[in-house]
């Protein structure tokens, strides 16, 4: 005759009793704390559940971006020349935004409205203040500009170029069947309001 096995309900053990006794709010979790079970408030908007190496914690969006190698912010672009000389600049607009993604790649957006007064300045037109030095020289993208910047003969477009180990870009004048050449101080009108904007991606550090 087969044995009859009787089963009976066991009471909650100490851990389950402790968990059941916790006061919990909607959206909260239970975690194991340093001294036992804890009510874990995870219902705060725009936070994420993660770890700090010891405990389960909530992580802010900024902390998550840092952990993943992401960053975003602003910078202040400034206009200058390789040799500023007597350059004086007034600004109606200086806007710079960037997103850094994993691997040190920077996506940048910049807009300047300025009036540059100069008689002894020389060398390449530059925009300084980028969020990271260039890890190599990179063409970041086409630049937009208003009248006041004179293109060289045969050139029809302007590209922003980040310079290796520097936090500035220069502006390359390009065209068909002609050599690329930087815009120089002589090609930037003195005392004239000028718009200059660019966006693109470059490898920083």
Report whether 73 contacts 98 (CB < 8 A).
Answer: yes
pLDDT tens figures, 122-136: 999 999 999 999 999
Structural domain spans, the chain: 14-68, 71-203
Q: Which residues contact 198 (CB under 8 A, 6 or more apart)?
A: 108, 109, 110, 127, 140, 141, 142, 143, 144, 160, 169
State both tokens at 120: 């002894």
Stronger pLDDT, 15 or 31, i.e. the higher one: 31
Q: Tell me the pLDDT band of 21, cut-offs 50, 70 and 90.
A: low
State both tokens at 98: 């960037």
Report whether 160 contacts 200 (CB < 8 A).
Answer: yes
pLDDT tens figures, 91-130: 999 999 999 998 899 999 999 999 999 999 999 999 999 9
Q: How far is CA 175 from CA 108, 138, 205, in A?
A: 24, 18, 31
Taking 60 as the threshold, does the pLDDT of residue 193 lie above it?
yes
What is the rounded CA–CA span in Å between residue 151 and residue 116?
A: 17
Q: Tell me the pLDDT band of 51, cut-offs 50, 70 and 90.
A: confident
Q: Tell me the pLDDT band of 6, cut-offs 50, 70 and 90.
A: low
Report whether 185 contacts 125 (CB < 8 A).
Answer: yes
Q: Give the chain's mean pLDDT.
A: 87
* DSSP 8-state symbol, 165: T
């Amino acid at each position: 005759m087969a044995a009859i096995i009787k089963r009976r309900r066991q009471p909650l053990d100490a851990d389950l009793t402790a968990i059941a006794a916790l006061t919990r709010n909607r959206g909260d979790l239970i975690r194991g704390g340093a001294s036992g079970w804890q009510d874990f408030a995870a219902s705060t908007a725009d936070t994420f559940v993660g770890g700090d190496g010891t405990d389960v914690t909530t992580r802010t969006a900024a902390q998550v971006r840092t952990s993943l190698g992401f960053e975003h912010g602003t910078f202040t672009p400034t206009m200058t020349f390789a040799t500023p000389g007597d350059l004086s600049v007034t600004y109606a607009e200086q806007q710079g935004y960037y997103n850094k993604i994993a691997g040190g790649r920077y996506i940048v957006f910049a807009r300047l409205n300025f009036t540059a007064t100069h008689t002894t300045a020389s060398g390449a037109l530059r925009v300084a203040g980028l969020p990271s030095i260039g890890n190599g020289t990179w063409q970041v993208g086409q630049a937009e500009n208003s009248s006041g910047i004179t293109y060289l003969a045969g050139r029809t477009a302007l590209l922003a170029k980040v310079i290796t180990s520097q936090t500035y870009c220069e502006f390359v004048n390009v065209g068909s069947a002609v050599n690329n050449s930087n815009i120089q101080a002589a090609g930037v009108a003195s005392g004239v309001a000028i718009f200059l904007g660019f966006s693109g991606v470059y490898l920083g550090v």
